[in-house]
Structure 1
Amino acid sequence: MKDQPILVIGSTGKTGSRIAASLKLKGFAVREGSRSAAIPFDWEQPDTWGPALDGVSSAYVSYFPDLAFPGAAEKIEALIRVAKASGVRKLVLLSGRGEAHAEACEEIVRHSGLAFTLVRAAWFAQNFSEGYLQGPVLDGVVALPAGDIREPIADVDDIAEVAVAALTDARHDGELYEITGPRLLSFEEAAAEISRHAGIPVRYQPITLEQFHDGMAEIAGPLVADVFTEICRETLDGHNAYLTDGVQRALGREPTDFSEFCRRAAASGAWKQAA
């Protein structure tokens, strides 16, 4: 029923903001799930979960900061208990491709007794245009501990479109959609494509995990650095270097190519140099 709200947890994030906007355009009632929302949702304050989930038909679950963080699985389990008590019918979980902690959370949702769809996403293209690598792109050097591995970089717009379909159509119940782009790219190739579309020089600089950790610790502190370094160790080792058909199965079309992402990002001004 379109008048029964859909909760979008993480509604200010890369995927959640797109999902909330798309649902509204399609005429669905949306309850935004963020700390600043009219009915706030905060992962660190479980007493906010019940009011946010009360009366909703389904919920999109994006865990902040990442499912690899300590305590994430326990919070997903607790959220499910509150969701069931609130009468929620379905959960759509955003998961990370090739991450053991994320897949453990998938299993919790799979065995929750609720209807579900699992959206397991590859590395986000938008990390370069509206995430933590936007600044380095503008500075001309993208440094990552990825060596020369190739990644099927996924467009967040594709991820959001799959999630919207899952939230609004029961035909997606019980499905696992693994979302990748249509081709494998090294980060050197990705930087070259960004440079060509943005009209600015951008190069990829491979670094060690230790160098990545030190840089992240300066920005975000040791805990965040520890977790994200382990995510890099786990996912940027080449084992994700293959394509999947999640977009095709969910949406009946091909996934968005990285070059099209670059074209749109450049047109939007994401890589416009400050005057």
Structure 2
Amino acid sequence: MEMRQTAMVCLGWSGWTTPMTTSPILVLGGKGKTGRRVVAQLEAKGVPVRLASRSSERRFDWYDESTWPGIASGIHTAYLAPPVGPTGLAQACRFVTHAAENGLRRVVLLSGRGVGSPGREFAVYEGQLDVEHAVKGSGADWTIVRPAWFMQGFSEDFGHEYVMAGEIRFSAGTGAEAWIDADDIGEVMAAVLLDERHTGQTYSLSGPRTLTMAEVADELTTATGREIRYVDLDPAEHVAELTAIGVTQEDAESVRDLFAVIRNHRSEYVSHGVEEVLGRAPRDFTDWARSTAQAGAWSA
């Protein structure tokens, strides 16, 4: 980390820079947790953005290749946040090749912390590793960002209803994760999108400390003022509960396998990508939970 920071200083890097082109930056998944934060960061800097998703004016669907032609036309740089699951990741590989063949010159990819690590527990990341390889082999310049699990999973996504019900029901066992604020991810992504000196770099991001799921429940109990407990599910039971609420079998099994990384204590470490890119510490879970509760995310 120190060598990379020193290199940035020697290059005169001190934060935001002007992009090398006036063409819009393509943001795929621009209405998702990271995508909308990337868009907000870029627009605040006056950078033109081309947002594309299934529900945007410029429609894009990873699973519908008829929406792909022209999506990267006139675009120099793109931010890609691929879907979860083997099918979606395979489509992302195909899109990367398609976009590079049609003029895309630079890709910033959202991947996952642990991708490329050896071990049975990391088999779930093989599809994401394939996307990384597709990006690196596309001929386009690239930067890869690998964040830990998002804190916002408990306020905006899969865990919100569990928090509201007072039970976080996952198959994470007693393993810990270095949860990261998605706002930090959005700021990192915007920084690397706007500075081509990050080309060819892979950054792993996390929060400043690890927490088990039981510790997360305690943090949320303190922040919300009501009791929230962690229920450790057997992995098969976790899949059954997810499919019962409408999650596809493929996606449910992918979620189970992602939690297996935590369950097997393979995620109990801190990464320093936020400091490397932004020159500051990442946000702590306690601060995030308190401010999120004050904003009414878990109000009845």
Please give the range of the TM-score, normalised by the shorter of the 2 chains.
over 0.9
Matches within 5 A, 1:1-275: 1=20, 3-64=22-83, 66=84, 68-70=85-87, 72-73=89-90, 75-98=91-114, 99-219=125-245, 220-273=247-300
CA apart distance, 1:222: 2.1
CA distance in 2 between counterparts of 1:213 and 1:81 reads 33
Residue pair 1:11, 1:32 contacting (<8 A) in 2 also: yes
CA apart distance, 1:244: 1.1
CA apart distance, 1:44: 1.3
Residue pair 2:112, 2:146 contacting (<8 A) in 1 also: yes
Deviations 1:187-206 (A, max 9, x none): 11111111111122111111
CA apart distance, 1:101: 2.5
Gaps of 5+ in 1: none
Task: Count residues in correspondence.
Answer: 270
Deviations 1:150-185 (A, max 9, x none): 111111111111111111111111111101110011
Task: Give % identity.
Answer: 36
SS of the aligned residue for 1:70 comes to helix
Residue pair 1:2, 1:27 contacting (<8 A) in 2 also: no
CA apart distance, 1:223: 2.5
Structure 1: 4+ residue segments shifted above 3 A = none
What's the Cα RMSD here?
Answer: 1.5
Q: What is the TM-score with the length of structure 1 in the denominator?
A: 0.93
CA distance in 1 between counterparts of 2:92 and 2:127 reads 12
SS of the aligned residue for 2:283 comes to coil
SS of the aligned residue for 1:240 comes to coil
Residue pair 1:55, 1:86 contacting (<8 A) in 2 also: no
Residue pair 1:94, 1:119 contacting (<8 A) in 2 also: yes
Deviations 1:215-251 (A, max 9, x none): 0111113232222222222453211111111111111
Quick check: 105-114 or 203-212, which moved more?
Answer: 105-114
Q: What is the TM-score with the length of structure 2 in the denominator?
A: 0.86
Partner of 2:8: none
Q: Which amino acid aligns with 2:295?
A: S
CA distance in 2 between counterparts of 1:264 and 1:89 reads 39
Residue pair 2:63, 2:88 contacting (<8 A) in 1 also: no
Quick check: 118-127 or 197-206, which moved more?
Answer: 197-206
CA distance in 1 between counterparts of 2:29 and 2:137 reads 23
Q: Which amino acid aligns with 1:70?
A: T
CA distance in 2 between counterparts of 1:222 and 1:100 reads 18
CA distance in 2 between counterparts of 1:60 and 1:243 reads 25
CA apart distance, 1:80: 2.1
Q: Which amino acid aligns with 1:77?
A: C
Deviations 1:32-81 (A, max 9, x none): 110122221111111222222111121111112x1x423523x2332122
SS of the aligned residue for 2:46 comes to coil
Compared CA separation, residues 31 and 46, structure 1 to 2 (3 A): same
